[in-house]
Structure 1
């Protein structure tokens, strides 16, 4: 195909809008910071692979990779590493793994991690989440109130561990 029929500037070639950056402090565990760096390397390698393609008529994948790299760069630059081993061992703080029991005697374990590490399905919660805020500062035996959209729940702290 002749280059005369290829549109080189316009909405198909504009950068994708940046992903939103959280206004909260970017606390990360050492593992979380390494994960951000690994994701950055993966996206940079993917971008290089995409730019090396012979057929580059569809630039959307490249623009998506560039957007992701901008996001990851910002998150790495703003990272505030916190080593869970340096946290107070007798109370809940960033990096803690907390085992709790609710009013129905259901035990659950949560881990307070950085936003980019948070995954509700795995029990990892961001430090600014309502649950993490309720748990922060609690000790074993304390009962905390977690205000959820579905209603208030009382949780007793059974165990706290780090690392």
Structure 2
């Protein structure tokens, strides 16, 4: 069983979504199916089919969340340190072409959100940064072409 690295915040978010889907969404969907079933002929009952599809999607996501939380390797980033970039690091970069500065935290795939400054450990930029230190220059091949970044700062926690 392959472990899935994630921060404690990411793990808590997944657990909360699992709880909500099991304890709130599941009963609501069951009620919707029951009400739609009471309308009679199921073969032409759009509400029934929509509720069943919603149930299928919810149960699929519950199974996925149960699997992810079971395989989670929760890493407490507040206890990490060092001069090399690795999972959990917060990195300040400058684009050598545009001089634009960006700050990213390297997190697990499930919690990645580029708009919030969290990039997946398996993303091209994170893979290029792993093992580098402050002052290093990294070349990142992205779908938009090759970019060059300098590591300005490395923080933990």
Structure 2 alignment gaps of length 5 or more? 37-47
Find the partner of 2:28 among 28, 49, 53.
49
Find the partner of 2:106 among 104, 107, 112.
112
Cα displacement (A) at 1:61: 1.2
Matched residue, 1:134: 128
Structure 2 contact 4–108 (Cα < 8 Å) conserved: yes
**What secondary structure is seen at the aligned counterpart in 1 of 2:102?**
strand
Cα displacement (A) at 1:74: 0.8
Structure 2 contact 81–156 (Cα < 8 Å) conserved: no
The number of residue pairs the alignment matches comes to 141
Structure 1 alignment gaps of length 5 or more? 1-22
User: What is the aligned-residue RMSD (CA, Å)?
Assistant: 1.7
Greater percentage in helix: 2
Alpha-carbon distance in 1 for matches of 2:132, 2:79: 17
Matched residue, 1:15: none
Distance 1:132 1:25, change over 3 A: farther
Moved more, 37-46 or 146-155: 146-155
Could you tell me the TM-score, scaled by structure 1's length? 0.80
Matched residue, 2:55: 62
**What secondary structure is seen at the aligned counterpart in 2 of 1:141?**
coil
Matched residue, 2:154: 160
Structure 1 contact 89–161 (Cα < 8 Å) conserved: no
Instruction: Describe how 1:1-163 pairs up with structure 2 within 5 A.
Output: 25-44=3-22, 45-53=24-32, 54-56=34-36, 57-58=48-49, 59-103=52-96, 104-163=98-157
Cα displacement (A) at 1:25: 4.6
